[in-house]
Amino acid sequence: MELPARIEQKIEYEPNSACWIWTGACTRDGYPEVMWQGGTRRAHRLIFEMLRSPIPPGLTLDHLCRVRCCVNPHHLEPTTIGVNGNRGFGQGALNGRKTHCPQGHPYDITYSGQRGCRRCMKESNRVAVVRYYYRHRAPRS
């Protein structure tokens, strides 16, 4: 299937990256938008469905090229929201890829929903006990 001329004219083909850059309207987040059949649609989703296949229910499209305004259907992959988020460069994704604490110990425990390493937690608790002891001990006479 070919793209309608009205959509085709809003695509600029980038030869170096093979991205299809959307030159039409975009959301504040940088995702392409187009008016289609009486409503607003995300252009990359519409083009993917026209040229490749329907997007399975419960899945979202991940821009493998990391260019939000790219509408090349071969740069898009249907994934779950969790997988899409973990592939990104947001703070949650970056932290999720970390395997060791800042001191170089492997993350090996979870407490209060946070990952941690036993060595640093043990040292932190030891320091807290010592501080408590010296704050609350009876004064010497």
**Are residues 108 and 49 part of one domain?**
no
**Are residues 72 and 7 part of one domain?**
yes
Residue 139 has pLDDT above 80, yes or no: no
**Are residues 28 and 88 part of one domain?**
yes
Determine the straight-line distance between the first and last CA of the chain, rounded to whole angstroms. 92
Stronger pLDDT, 77 or 129, i.e. the higher one: 77
Residue 47 has pLDDT above 90, yes or no: yes
How far apart (Å, rounded) are the C-alpha atoms in residues 13 and 86?
28
Mean pLDDT confidence for 54-60: 95
Q: What is the pTM of this model?
A: 0.71
Domain that holds residue 139: 99-141
The tally of domains found in the chain comes to 2
Could you tell me the pLDDT band of residue 92, with boundaries at 50, 70 and 90? confident
**Are residues 139 and 121 part of one domain?**
yes
**Are residues 71 and 113 part of one domain?**
no
What are residue 85's phi and psi, to 5 degrees? -65, -40
Mean pLDDT confidence for 79-95: 87
The fraction of the chain above a pLDDT of 70, given in percent, is 99
* Domain CATH number, residue 16: 3.90.75.20
**Are residues 109 and 90 part of one domain?**
no
**Are residues 36 and 87 part of one domain?**
yes
Q: What is the pLDDT of residues 58-76, one digit of tens each?
A: 999 999 999 999 999 999 9
**Are residues 52 and 29 part of one domain?**
yes
**Are residues 73 and 40 part of one domain?**
yes
**Are residues 126 and 68 part of one domain?**
no
Residue 1 has pLDDT above 70, yes or no: no
pLDDT at position 141, please?
65
Residue 140 has pLDDT above 80, yes or no: no
**Are residues 66 and 5 part of one domain?**
yes
